[in-house]
Amino acid sequence: MTAYQELERRHARIAAIGDALGILGWDTQTIMPDGANEGRAEQIATLSVIAHEMSTDPRLADLLAEAEDDDSLDSWRRANLREMRRNHAHATAVPAELVEAMSKAASVCEMTWRTARADSDFAALLPSLRTVLDCVRESAAAKGAAMGLSPYDALLDEYDPGARTARIDALFADLADFLPDLIGRVLDKQAGQPVPARPVGPFPVEAQRALGVSMMERMGFDFQRGRLDVSLHPFCGGATDDVRMTTRYDEADFANALMAVIHETGHGLYEQGRPRAHLAQPVGQARGMAVHESQSLIMEMQAARSAEFITWLAPVVREAFGGTGPEWEVDNLRRLYGRVERGFIRVDADEVTYPAHVILRYRLEKALVSGDLDLADLPGAWNDGMLELVGVAPPDDRRGCLQDIHWPGGGWGYFPSYTLGAMTAAQLFAAAREAEPEIVPALGRGDFAPLVGWLRTNVHQTGCFHASADALLTAATGRPLDVSVFKRHLETRYLGS
């Protein structure tokens, strides 16, 4: 067995543990009884340590060096070797005891967050969240020192290889300058239009689920390799060939669950479309979280909120819920689902205000990691930032700093991926429409196949063959990430310019 073959064998075993962790994580957030939390935290921590020990085995460094000299490796295996080396650098920077401590702290904090969020009680979350942040800071400092990066850049690199604060600062500063005026102009335009009427429920959960499943099938989701469940916060997880998606239902508003299903199906299609010859290898994984988020947003925002798709969707939802009246008409639904409002909740935000929510979180987590902001001061800083960037201040912490699971779950450095993903989605969709003119007319028939086919070729099946998100974008669209494409999309859709 060659050095490279041994590396593949070892990484396949690491991937199998990752799959087991994915299923445990799904179970934790969907059906696990509260009393099992302590045992589950121990299970996840144990598997995380085993995976970490395998990833930091001293023999790996020798195997990597030996494999570098193997001239027989093709371009995919060379790319796999590059990804193995990157993963090894991240893993060896953090001691096993810190990996275990982080896993346990996040498991405890996630469960505490569920109660604290429901009670709007940040003080109840503060002790466990402080433990998580301490672990995050220690890990970020260790990775930064080992990789020659700042602590926060080391966190970014874990989710999006090559992402750096300097680049994101520039992109987000451009957006932060652009958004307030855009929001104002869009709201002014809306003020001169009829206020859209919202269809009135109740909308039975069973009917909502049936509509969501039907939409997933239409989008090409393979239910032989995945499923849909319910959780407090919609997500896509699970394992290879076992994609576990969730949504949440509100009998007063069917659109939230439907759009969440379309969003998460974008993630699920990416997972189901990864290169099958390399599924258990680093090169077969998704190319970072910004690209992953682009796949959900290209479905939810670019496709499913397009005028063409809503024209097709209107009679479908009318039939699903027995709707009658002007609120179910195409023009009303277009205005309703293109409505821009200043709101408190990120996951419910419209396409125009959403980036402001992400920019706020990006600024806050940078300050928390660096120590420039004390965790106890987070609620006040959050509310001040919301007022500045979105134009509203949350009336309570449930609708403020307690709304997201990411920080309690240890996901620091992740939030920028959402808006980087929105920009990436706009750029990919523009390129896809140019390459395949049938994509937009097909959406007008509820047909996602042309769009999914283009994404399969240009994104899903490329895995991590490209070294970075920018390299993937350049191959697919002819240029790296360009914020002007996203800005033009927003102006065109919401101002008609």
What are the angstrom distances between the C-alpha of 233 and each of 201, 289, 341, 387? 22, 18, 22, 24
Q: Are 81 and 73 in contact (CB under 8 A)?
A: yes
264 is catalytic: yes
Give CA separation, 452 vs 66, 178, 265, 277, in Å: 39, 31, 11, 20
Amino acid at 32: M
Active-site position among 83, 158, 264, 300:
264
Measure the CA–CA gap between 134 and 419, rounded to whole angstroms: 26
Q: How far is CA 450 from the centre of its chain?
A: 23
Residue 83's DSSP bridge partners are none
Across the chain, how many H-helices and E-strands are there? 20, 3
For residues 408 and 126, what is the distance between their CA atoms, to the nearest angstrom? Answer: 10
365-370: Cβ within 8 A, 24+ apart: 365/152, 365/407, 365/412, 365/413, 365/415, 366/152, 366/165, 368/133, 369/133, 369/136, 369/137, 369/140, 369/151, 369/152, 369/155, 369/412, 370/151, 370/152
DSSP 271: H
Task: Return the active site residues.
Answer: 264
